[in-house]
Amino acid sequence: SVLGFDLWKMLLDGPEAVLNQTVNTQPLMLAAGVATYRVWQALGGSVPALLAGHSLGEYSALVAAGSLAFSDAVALVRFRAEAMQNAVAAGEGAMAAILGLDGEPLQQACAEAAQGQVLAPVNFNSPGQVVIAGHRTAVERGIEVCKARGAKRALLLPVSVPSHCALMLPAAEQLQQRLQQVLIQAPQIPVLHNADVNSYNDPEQIRDALVRQLYSPVRWVETVQQMAATGIQIVAECGPGKVLAGLGKRISSDVRSPALVDMAALMQLRDELKGAGT
């Protein structure tokens, strides 16, 4: 009812081209993450000490934390996707994965390749795995500069929206206005935000973090490291896949990162934690 169409029917029937549109993919991913967490709750799973989500996943985390209603989150991510898609003309933006080069050398490579255009590291996914984004021609130059500076691999990603860089400022302005119409409450579980790896209780600070997220890097390495620093030993992934679980293993040897992709995985982790008294 929020979207005006049957999301479940779309998932079952497609077509694939429609499913792969950003405005549809993002609500589907949100729904998958929230559904996994709700099954975890229904199975009697323990309450997490912290929550976090990678980019879009931050909205799933806020729903799980009781800060944002699911219906509002679905409408927001659809609006967010449309604003992001409209912020940059088709073909003008791009993203690329850079493997084996990060830190200051990567920052210098982006500065060299920008040539007055937008180009920046935008996803710090794991040590040695960073995504850059900006104007397409700048990203293409960035790929060559990164290779010349020692990157093991540098390749364009099949996406149309250059997320988490300054090209998203127009979308951020629209999102800021839209968020004022949405009820956000203090989370019942702390949520670490992508833009600054902080958690907030004040709804206005949460709104601000969601706005900044659109044009700021996703600091996922620091997020997992902060979880480990607080003594968390298990960082479980709720959602359609195992990407974050794989990143977690590369970020910290102090945490285990199971992916809750099916009932067997959910029940195994639930029983393990119950046996440990947590």
User: Over the stretch 134-161, which tens digit does the pLDDT of each residue have?
Assistant: 999 999 999 999 999 999 999 999 888 9
What pLDDT does residue 266 have?
96
Active-site annotation holds for 60: no
The 119-126 sheet, strands edge to edge: 119-126, 129-135, 93-99, 153-156
Active-site annotation holds for 193: no
Q: Which whole-number Å values give the CA distances from 270 to 45, 46, 192, 220, 273, in the listed order?
A: 5, 7, 23, 25, 5
Residue for token digits 């393990």?
272
Instruction: Considering only residues 8 and 264, tell me which one the structure prediction assigns the higher pLDDT.
Output: 264
pLDDT (tens digit, 9 = 90+) per residue, 184-205?
999 999 999 999 999 999 999 9
pTM for the full predicted model? 0.92
pLDDT at 177 over 90: yes
Instruction: Considering only residues 143 and 239, tell me which one the structure prediction assigns the higher pLDDT.
Output: 143
Catalytic residue, candidates 54, 135, 164, 193: 164
Do residues 73 and 62 make contact, with C-beta atoms less than 8 angstroms apart? yes
Q: What sections of 43-102 are H helices per DSSP?
A: 57-64, 70-87
pLDDT at 20 over 80: no
DSSP H or E stretch at residue 274: helix 263-275
- Any idea what the Cα angle at residue 104 is, between residues 197 and 53, rounded to 5°? 25
Give mean pLDDT, residues 207-227.
Answer: 98
pLDDT at 13 over 90: no
pLDDT at 58 over 60: yes
pLDDT at 59 over 60: yes
What pLDDT does residue 213 have?
98
Do residues 142 and 96 make contact, with C-beta atoms less than 8 angstroms apart? yes
Residue in 260, 261, 277 with CA at minimum distance from that of residue 269: 260
In this structure, what token pair is assigned to residue 220?
A: 């996922």
Q: How far apart are CA 122 and CA 29, in angstroms?
A: 20
Q: What domains appear along the chain, each with residue ranges and CATH number?
A: 7-87+167-219 (3.40.366.10), 93-160 (3.30.70.250)
Q: Is 170 exposed, middle or buried (0-12, 13-18, 19+ CB in 10 A)?
A: middle
Q: Which whole-number Å values give the CA distances from 88 to 82, 164, 222, in the listed order?
A: 11, 13, 29
Give mean pLDDT, residues 102-123.
Answer: 97
Mean pLDDT across the chain: 92
